[in-house]
Structure 1
């Protein structure tokens, strides 16, 4: 690369900005993705990012929640149903999810009862590190032991909507690449997971997307299926899968 050419800017598809009690500048968050060698974004890119952001005032304490979980990961996309009272009560449930690729296929949890696929992973407990939650959930759901030194960030999916009980349901889903040990362990499933017959399968991207798109059972959260399909599509688009 010539010295007078600036580095390429690879930006997240969408950045949602949340700040307790006030609007904040997009530049405060967007600097997290500044390529090496740039101290600020060119005006055209700055304007493009600013126009794509929906700034809003979050529920009290949400900014502290995001800081406590270290939300500095690339924002893959946002799921915002816009059906909530932003000033109401809230329920926050961050999660960690594993991207495990073997021979061009993804390790996925297959619900045999309802016939859909999800990435291994689940909720992060209070005070728990994201990587620790990732390893725990993958072992429980899939029986796979994550090699912690192999964990690398892929990106985050932010979800916000009306809750079942509280006024607002907020979830940041953190996706990580990781390798796993060869030996398979025994699953430790919750009751609902056992009822759905959660089963580890290595599946190609096309089958995941087609199976989830065909799932019409009203008991299955369609947003989860759409989220998993979009993440799978992005892995294909970015060259990690075919």
Structure 2
């Protein structure tokens, strides 16, 4: 899959003599005209693509479907196509590694606009995560504002905003 961007967090100045943990993830792109299915996370005041980490040995497409269903309640997922990957290096603050290397594989898909029940993890519920159809340009503007004005922003907002801009440019 084509790498759309490789991003280094400002705290990652070098990979030399660092222990690196690689995490593979997927992200889903479901569009209805200029509206896109996103997750709004109250804790971080941002919009993000549905998705998350792959289980060990899990097929990327199967992992994308699993994450999309769990986080949004999406149904009738079909016409899955690769869009591109976003690679990032960020600080890892847990024992054993210095840096996390995350590769997010992004796929477009069609889904039923009516969402079913979600199966969010406890931290996702605690963070105030909810699935919402939103105009992609409004989501980009919101994330841009959060990046410039909020002290709540998480590490993923730059990735998510980059991807939303690329989606708007190429698919809307």
How many Å apart are 1:84 and its aligned residue? 4.3
- The corresponding residue for 1:6 is none
Cα 1:182–1:209 change in 2 (3 A) is closer
Asked if 1:233 is matched to 2:165, the reply is yes
Question: Structure 2: how far apart are the matches of 1:175 and 1:129?
Answer: 13
- The corresponding residue for 1:79 is 7
Kept in 2: contact 1:84–1:162 (CA 8 A) = no
What secondary structure, in the 3-state scheme, does the structure 1 residue paired with 2:168 have?
Answer: helix
Q: Which moved more, 1:163-172 or 1:133-142?
A: 163-172
Give the TM-score taking structure 1 as reference length: 0.63
What secondary structure, in the 3-state scheme, does the structure 2 residue paired with 1:160 have?
Answer: strand
Kept in 1: contact 2:18–2:99 (CA 8 A) = yes
- The corresponding residue for 1:193 is 124
How large is the RMSD of aligned CA atoms in angstroms? 1.8
What secondary structure, in the 3-state scheme, does the structure 2 residue paired with 1:153 have?
Answer: strand
Give the TM-score taking structure 2 as reference length: 0.87
- The corresponding residue for 1:104 is 34
How many Å apart are 1:231 and its aligned residue? 1.1
How many Å apart are 1:114 and its aligned residue? 3.7
Question: Structure 1: how far apart are the matches of 2:14 and 2:65?
Answer: 33
Query: Per-residue displacement from partner, 1:16-54 (whole Å, max 9, x unpaired)?
Result: xxxxxxxxxxxxxxxxxxxxxxxxxxxxxxxxxxxxxxx
Cα 1:83–1:115 change in 2 (3 A) is same
Query: Per-residue displacement from partner, 1:188-228 (whole Å, max 9, x unpaired)?
Result: 1111110122111111122111211222544432x411111
Query: Per-residue displacement from partner, 1:144-187 (whole Å, max 9, x unpaired)?
Result: 03524x11000000001332131121000111000113552211
Greater fraction of residues in strand: 2
Cα 1:146–1:90 change in 2 (3 A) is farther
Question: Structure 2: how far apart are the matches of 1:140 and 1:84?
Answer: 36
Cα 1:90–1:147 change in 2 (3 A) is same
Name the count of aligned residue pairs.
166
Larger RCO, structure (CA 8 Å, separation 6 or more):
2
Kept in 2: contact 1:83–1:161 (CA 8 A) = no
- The corresponding residue for 1:131 is 61
Query: Per-residue displacement from partner, 1:81-117 (whole Å, max 9, x unpaired)?
Result: 3434433322221110000001321100111344310
Asked if 1:159 is matched to 2:88, the reply is yes
Cα 1:113–1:80 change in 2 (3 A) is closer
Question: Structure 2: how far apart are the matches of 1:128 and 1:118?
Answer: 22
